[in-house]
Amino acid sequence: MRILGTIAVHSFRDILRSRILYAVIAYAAVVMGVAVLAGEWTLGEQIRLVTDVGLGAMVAFGLLLVLTRGAETISREVERKTVRVMLARPIQRWQFVVGSFLGMVMALALLIAALLAVLCVALIPIGGPSSWGSLFIASWGILLELLMIAAVALLASNLSSPVLATLLTLLVFCAGHMASGLHEWIQGTATDGASHLPDSMAKVAMAYQSGPLNVFLRVAYFALPIMTHVNFKAQAANAVAVPAMRVVVGSLYALVYTTLVTLVGVGVFRRRDIS
């Protein structure tokens, strides 16, 4: 555990030195700017707008950190051959991978906490958030979302170059946001029929209801991180209470998904040739 903690702290410090401070400053500028521009709006709408933009920007800056750091965690160390120096010490491969990921987890937790503090500072002068509880839950959901995509970035970094890993991570992030809606839409057309759709869309919907495309959709649906399970931003912006069971189920889903993908990344790195 001491070795694991040392690697995690080293990775965390490396990220902390390079990117988090700039992200916090840029985020503060965005949120404060929106608060000033929305100053002429009614109080309720101003709070809703600042909350909505603030949470959306929180996702964007967190994703930027994952793409610029997480997606190159392993591949950069392999290309520079620094990983060979580290593994020459009494460090196992799984400790290097898991420690690097834990460093990213610490950095993301610190980033979300700092951005949440900035958002609260921006909201307090205009009356505070409509619901403190929903705001904190939404921030927790964003952290879980970023942990899932960070695990994907770690796996992608094991499989390809930094550029390709970044592109793959971004594609998975976008697909994870769309997968649930696409699945529900296709399931809906299977139940209600596709006669109300244009011919081109009806053919696509019917093609995904059976055969190889249906199998592909089902596999992709379970392989992708389904972000709707941890997406509570709309509730926070509209002061709607989030059911406790949904938070628990979403948290368990995100943590299990993150763990499984990280384990796959460990398995891939164990078999990787780093000579």
Task: Give 246's pLDDT tier (boundaries 50, 70, 90).
Answer: very high
**Residue 275 is assigned to a structural domain of this protein:** no
The proportion of the chain whose per-residue pLDDT surpasses 70, expressed as a percent, equals 72
Determine the pLDDT at residue 235: 86
Determine the pLDDT at residue 141: 94
**Residue 249 is assigned to a structural domain of this protein:** yes
**Taking the chain, what is the end-to-end CA distance rounded to the nearest angstrom?**
27
Between residues 95 and 138, which one has the greater pLDDT?
A: 138
Q: What is the average per-residue pLDDT within 245-250?
A: 93
pLDDT tens digits for 139-195? 999 999 999 999 999 888 888 777 888 898 999 998 888 766 565 555 554 445 444
List all residues 6 or more positions away from 139 whose beta carbon is below 8 Å from its beta carbon: 55, 58, 112, 115, 116
**Residue 39 is assigned to a structural domain of this protein:** yes
Count: domains in the chain: 1
Q: Is 197 exposed, middle or buried (0-12, 13-18, 19+ CB in 10 A)?
A: middle
- 113-141 in b/e form (b: 16+ CB < 10 A) is ebbbebbbebbeebeebbbeebbbbbbbb
Q: Which domain holds residue 244?
A: 2-270
**Residue 104 is assigned to a structural domain of this protein:** yes
**Residue 97 is assigned to a structural domain of this protein:** yes
**Residue 263 is assigned to a structural domain of this protein:** yes
How many whole angstroms separate alpha carbon 199 and alpha carbon 102? 49
How many whole angstroms separate alpha carbon 274 and alpha carbon 79? 9
Q: What is the average per-residue pLDDT within 112-117?
A: 89
pLDDT tens digits for 1-51? 777 777 788 778 877 776 666 777 788 788 877 776 766 666 667 888 888
**Residue 107 is assigned to a structural domain of this protein:** yes
Determine the pLDDT at residue 254: 94
pLDDT tens digits for 206-224? 555 665 666 666 676 678 8
Asked whether residue 77 carries a pLDDT value surpassing 70, the answer given is no
Determine the pLDDT at residue 212: 65
Mean pLDDT over each residue of the chain, to the nearest integer: 78
Which of 68-77, 178-187, 227-236 tops mean pLDDT?
227-236
**Residue 205 is assigned to a structural domain of this protein:** yes
Asked whether residue 199 carries a pLDDT value surpassing 60, the answer given is no
The proportion of the chain whose per-residue pLDDT surpasses 90, expressed as a percent, equals 17
